[in-house]
Amino acid sequence: MLHVVTPSTVSSRSTTKIRKVPRALFGHGLSLLPSGAMGTSIYWRMMMEVSFLRYCAALAPFPLLMVAFPEMALPIGQAPALMFLVVYLVESRVLSVDNPERRRRLMPEEEAERGADIAKTRGREILTRIAAKRGLKAGELHLVIEQSALARVPPVTIVSVQSPDPEPQVLELDEEEQALIRETLFDRDFTEERMHISSLALGRFLHDVTLEARSVSAHARLEALKTA
């Protein structure tokens, strides 16, 4: 599930106000989604990023046991250590990969780094085409790719284009630029799931791809003019 974040594709524009580049946006949760997203698959998936809701889900068996076995209600209700242990096990063992040994079982480090490199290469291609299309000749562009740290659930990827010039900002992207990201970043050979495994294996969930606008070749600028 890939979501391109711009000021016009979120329900609250304040979530795209940043003070530095690159800036992680994932922590804003559901406010990153556009208005009217409720009920969509990405909406329900982003609900899983809310830690309080995950804790409630992990603890749900306890009230059910109290209802099923009323005579055990008091002992169960007085077992906070057991509840804490359940939440800890779900968060650290089921929904995350919490140590290097478990990460290595997912994917060898060399292969995981190769996945991160593919994302950077494709990210530079995306930024090059955006810079050429806009006729940018100075400044920096950052393609910030963020993935969820949760394992064993469908991956979700948040992508934004950020710039420190003239001040830190999340750029507004038109429909063509948003489509460029969706069509270029992932494909059948390099899927979102493949990158997510790389992120989990590396323990690295923010990937920053940087491009100096002045490095864009004349050929790339001509190609942009042809397709404009």
Is there a contact between 185 and 125 (Cβ–Cβ < 8 Å)?
no
Kindly list the domain boundaries of the chain, sorted by start residue. Answer: 2-47+101-227
Structure tokens at 136: 């940018």
pLDDT tens series, the chain, 228 aa: 999 999 999 998 889 999 999 999 988 888 898 888 888 899 999 888 888 888 888 888 888 877 887 877 777 677 778 888 888 888 877 888 877 788 888 888 899 999 999 999 999 999 999 998 888 888 899 999 999 999 888 999 999 999 998 899 999 999 999 999 999 999 999 999 999 999 999 999 999 999 988 887 777 666 766 565
**Quick one: pLDDT at residue 24?**
93
Structure pTM?
A: 0.86
**Quick one: pLDDT at residue 185?**
95
**Quick one: pLDDT at residue 74?**
72
**Quick one: pLDDT at residue 12?**
87
Give the burial string for 43-69 (b: 16+ CB within 10 Å, else e).
eebbebbeeeebbeebeeeeeeebeee
